[in-house]
Structure 1
Amino acid sequence: MIVGDAAAWLSAGRSLPDDPSLHYVSFDEMSQRLLESFEPDIILTPLLGQGFDALDLAVILEQYKYKGRFRALCPKLPNPDLVMREIQSLCPSVDFDLFVVDDSDPRRLN
């Protein structure tokens, strides 16, 4: 499951994988019922999305007792451990980590 504004990503010229096993949802759509219907093994989101951030989503996932992995995509950060500690301290049952996306990587989708 990918949480964010897919329409904004497309309008910014980004490509999104077209895979029927991927479900794109907005932050506002996130609900217990949605999680139960899709049962995602992993949830991906940008560290900073439009109108929300990874911490906002982590709090929701903690409340819904989500047991899968939760990963936030981000650029190289000066202190990624600070982000990790904050989210892990507020949402200790969420399996959270960061995926650093390097814009210079030639394998990166546009």
Structure 2
Amino acid sequence: MSKQEKIGVNPSREPLTLIVGDAAAWLSAGRSLPDDKGLHYTSYEDLSKDLLDDINPDIVLAPLLGQGFDAMDLAIQLDIFGYKGRFRALSPDLPNPKLILKEVKSLCPKIDFDLFIVDDSADRRMN
């Protein structure tokens, strides 16, 4: 079995990203959401095992701190639902990101978790 098959990646289809968060708040802040068939958006409240099974995402993206949830909450839910793929939390620069990585990995060792550090300063924003 290849590494891609072990983590649930299906090389015969387009990669699919599940983005968990509050899309309505993002849009109301004047930001846009990319319209791409490889992206699927859901709120934390609407996330379910059935949704994960139906979508079978190659990666899950979410903010480190979202509306009503954080990356630890989401990692625990993903683990409960049996997800074994990649989960990346979008985060501002942190003084000690290794602490967060260690905490999530200790509670959810089957989840391939890491942080994407994002600079959201005005001069770096694309929109």
| TM class, shorter-length | over 0.9
Partner of 1:20: 37
State the 1:109 CA deviation.
Answer: 3.8
Quick check: which has more Rg, 1 or 2?
2
1:23-52 per-position Cα deviation (integer Å, ceiling 9, x unaligned): 100000111100000000000000000000
Partner of 2:111: 94
Identical columns (%): 66
Trace 1:3-82 onto structure 2 (pairs within 5 A).
3-82=20-99
The count of residues paired between Structure 1 and Structure 2 equals 110
Q: Which runs of 5+ in 1 are unaligned?
A: none
Partner of 2:19: 2
Trace 1:99-110 onto structure 2 (pairs within 5 A).
99-104=116-121, 108-110=125-127
Structure 2 length-normalised TM: 0.81
- Following TM superposition, where does structure 1 have runs of at least 4 consecutive aligned residues deviating by more than 6 angstroms? none
**Structure 1 contact 75–100 (Cα < 8 Å) conserved:** yes
Provide the C-alpha distance between the structure 2 equivalents of 1:18 and 1:106, rounded to a whole number of angstroms. Answer: 24
Root-mean-square deviation over aligned CA pairs: 1.5
**Amino acid paired to 2:99:** L
Provide the C-alpha distance between the structure 1 equivalents of 2:47 and 2:62, rounded to a whole number of angstroms. Answer: 12
Structure 1 length-normalised TM: 0.93
Q: Which runs of 5+ in 2 are unaligned?
A: 1-17
